[in-house]
Amino acid sequence: MEQNNRLYPLKFLPAERKMPWGKETWLLADLAEMSTMVHSGWLGANTVAELMETFLEDMVGEASFSYYGLQFPVTVKLLEVEGRTPLLVTADDETAAARYDAFGKTVFWYVAEAAPGSEISIGFEKDTDASSFYEGCIGSRPASRLRSFRPSKGDCFEILPGLVYGASGRIKIVEVSEASDLDFTLVSHDGSAGEHLDEAFDLIRYSSGGAAPVVKAWKDGLALLSDRPEFRISEMKLETPLRIESGPRGTFSIYYCLSGGLVVKSADGSSSATEEGRSDIAVRKGELVLVPAGMGDFLLGPSAEGTVLLEVIAGAREEPDSYLDDVSSAK
């Protein structure tokens, strides 16, 4: 591949969608309903799906490609809640494969902003049963059974399949999830019974607990927030330039800028046809950049004081089941 056609750090055109409860912005997605487009450079206007078809494991790494095939493994969205989101539940991989020939969905929420009185609900406060919760959903009274939190900026939550979840108030959430369209609505934003209530009721975990804010353990400016087969997420304080060696990772790297700013560039100083012909990519607060697995070693450099990032890389998945080949080939 010629030098000017090398893979480079990729920014994408955000895709906004107004919702009854606020707004959601797709920052990085490879789904049937949305595949985000590269912002600029010689790959500009190509979708994530087209990149996967062209670059294969060079986009995501060998392990992720062997499991997900042509499906980019994760989705990143920004949720700007001004009201009440629907109550949702997702399916695990096994159930999603058996019923829908699809991937399941594990979700991670990072609270970027939260006004007083905002609330996040995940799972049940006490053990409950299907019939009483069903009656609560029909009667628009499910909230009293849920385990709720008053979030603050920087709080984060792992939302596993089977946990009922939602948010209300004025709150901004960075959502990272396994790439899947399988969201089941139990209760709509207006409190009425959701369209998937009957279909998804046996997906729900009715035992208490199962979710709490992640306890952050900081070491050398890094805090591991989630380490699951679907993804590994860390919060990073970037105070000095940092070299990332791609070899030991063998995966893509995603950086969402929570505050400050940064520059991403190849560690060998090579030139790529990137933004405005530059060999580096500037990322500002609220923006996301994807570093493909095949790019090689790269450098992260802060461009402003107080730079804090969310880093997302692939998790350690087991050998793929036979259905995954069918899912990939059906895309």
CATH code at position 276: 2.60.120.10
Quick one: pLDDT at residue 246?
80
Q: For the segment 207-259, what is each residue's pLDDT rounded down to a tens digit?
A: 987 678 999 999 999 999 999 999 999 999 999 999 999 876 789 999 999 99
Pick the last residue of a domain from 183, 215, 247: 215
| Residue 322 pLDDT exceeds 90 | no
Quick one: pLDDT at residue 279?
59
Quick one: pLDDT at residue 270?
58
Instruction: Label residue 83 left, alpha or beta by phi (over 0 means left) and psi (-120 to 50 means alpha).
Output: left
Quick one: pLDDT at residue 1?
33
**Cβ atoms of residues 182 and 104 within 8 Å:** yes
> Mean per-residue pLDDT for 22-35?
96
* 3 state SS of 55: helix
Rounded CA-CA distance 175/111 in Å is 9
Instruction: Indicate if 87 and 210 belong to the same structural domain.
Output: yes
Q: Please compute Rg for the chain using Cα positions.
A: 20
Give the chain's count of helices (H) and strands (E): 8, 20
Rounded CA-CA distance 25/12 in Å is 12
* 3 state SS of 255: strand
Structure tokens at 194: 């959701």
More confident residue, 321 or 50: 50
**Cβ atoms of residues 155 and 111 within 8 Å:** yes
Q: Where is average pLDDT lowest: 101-105, 168-172, 259-263, 318-322? A: 318-322
Instruction: Label residue 296 left, alpha or beta by phi (over 0 means left) and psi (-120 to 50 means alpha).
Output: left
Quick one: pLDDT at residue 144?
75
Q: Is 321 contained in some domain?
A: no
Quick one: pLDDT at residue 275?
47
Quick one: pLDDT at residue 249?
79
Q: Is 322 contained in some domain?
A: no
Q: Which domain holds residue 230?
A: 218-314
Residue with tokens 């009201």: 83
Q: Which of 296, 203, 213 is nearest to 247 (CA)?
A: 296
> Mean per-residue pLDDT for 47-52?
97
Number of domains in the chain: 2
Mean pLDDT of the chain: 90
Q: Is 153 contained in some domain?
A: yes
Quick one: pLDDT at residue 142?
78
Question: With b meaning 16 or more CB within 10 Å and e meaning fewer, what string describes 240-261?
Answer: eebebebeeeebbbbbbbbebb
Q: Is 146 contained in some domain?
A: yes
| Residue 4 pLDDT exceeds 90 | no
Instruction: Indicate if 38 and 161 belong to the same structural domain.
Output: yes
Instruction: Label residue 313 left, alpha or beta by phi (over 0 means left) and psi (-120 to 50 means alpha).
Output: beta
Tell me the pLDDT band of 56, cut-offs 50, 70 and 90.
very high
| Residue 94 pLDDT exceeds 60 | yes
Rounded CA-CA distance 4/218 in Å is 39
Quick one: pLDDT at residue 291?
95
Instruction: Indicate if 147 and 175 belong to the same structural domain.
Output: yes
Instruction: Indicate if 78 and 170 belong to the same structural domain.
Output: yes
Tell me the pLDDT band of 194, cut-offs 50, 70 and 90.
very high
pLDDT above 90: percentage of residues in the chain: 78
What's the whole-model pTM score? 0.92
Question: What count of other Cβ atoms lies within 10 Å of the Cβ of residue 32?
Answer: 10
Instruction: Indicate if 137 and 125 belong to the same structural domain.
Output: yes
Q: For the segment 98-114, what is each residue's pLDDT rounded down to a tens digit?
A: 999 999 999 999 999 99
Per the DSSP assignment, residues forming a β-bridge with 83 are: 169
Instruction: Indicate if 208 and 226 belong to the same structural domain.
Output: no
> Mean per-residue pLDDT for 14-25?
97
Pick the last residue of a domain from 215, 248, 270: 215
Q: Which of 160, 179, 176 is nearest to 69 (CA)?
A: 179
Pick the last residue of a domain from 215, 241, 272: 215
- Which range of 138-147, 177-186, 206-215, 318-327 scores highest in mean pLDDT? It is 177-186
